[in-house]
Chain A
Amino acid sequence: NAGVTQTPKFRVLKTGQSMTLLCAQDMNHEYMYWYRQDPGMGLRLIHYSVGEGTTAKGEVPDGYNVSRLKKQNFLLGLESAAPSQTSVYFCASSYSFASPQSSGANVLTFGAGSRLTVL
């Protein structure tokens, strides 16, 4: 029962390089999200998707692109990395609605994180 899996776990980039973070979930969740976590800032939403083939901007979308070609996968891309994008990135997924009867199974489920350093 894998839940949400992120790859890679660690990556070091030089300024201007590009890369893609991959998120995969096996819970048949409709919604998927990418967050970044910075010290003292909590979790901030970058982009999200409400279904296969759809994406939308979150709170801090600049410098990132996303794609959701398959329901179970959500990719986060950095076309030209900048030092300000040094952060820990978390993918999450959820169903489209909350239900108290699900005892939390339908709320946001997070991956283990991907630590990105941009030099």
Chain B
Amino acid sequence: GQQLNQSPQSMFIQEGEDVSMNCTSSSIFNTWLWYKQDPGEGPVLLIALYKAGELTSNGRLTAQFGITRKDSFLNISASIPSDVGIYFCAGNPYSGGYQKVTFGTGTKLQVIP
């Protein structure tokens, strides 16, 4: 099946640093989603993007829907220890149900206090 190219695969950063991760695809998407997964838990939605060029913030998190509709990025500013986890991007080619959504392989974030 199709997969998104998500990078980096893992990151070690110092507390207080900013973080940037991105996803690219050969296919066009109508929706981009960013999820965070804590150890032993299910993915939790951070930000949903519905329009090309859209820039959306959620606290210290900012995500953008690329103009080409084939990429998206997530930035985390001033990282804190609780930001540790795996971040997944996901793209949906439809405006409807998510049966065709494709997930990235995840970015594992470690924050050093």
> Interface residues, chain A, CB within 8 Å of chain B?
4, 30-31, 33, 40-45, 48, 50, 56, 58-60, 90, 92, 94, 96-98, 100, 103-104, 107-113
| Contact-residue size bin, chain B (C-beta under 8 Å from the other chain) | 20 to 34
CB pair A31 B88 closer than 8 Å:
no
Q: List 18 A-B contacts (CB under 8 A).
A: A4-B42, A31-B97, A33-B98, A43-B43, A44-B1, A45-B101, A48-B99, A50-B99, A90-B43, A92-B42, A100-B50, A104-B45, A104-B47, A107-B98, A108-B33, A109-B45, A110-B44, A113-B41
CB pair B99 A98 closer than 8 Å:
no
CB pair A98 B31 closer than 8 Å:
yes
A-B pairs with beta carbons under 8 A, tally: 78
CB pair B48 A113 closer than 8 Å:
no
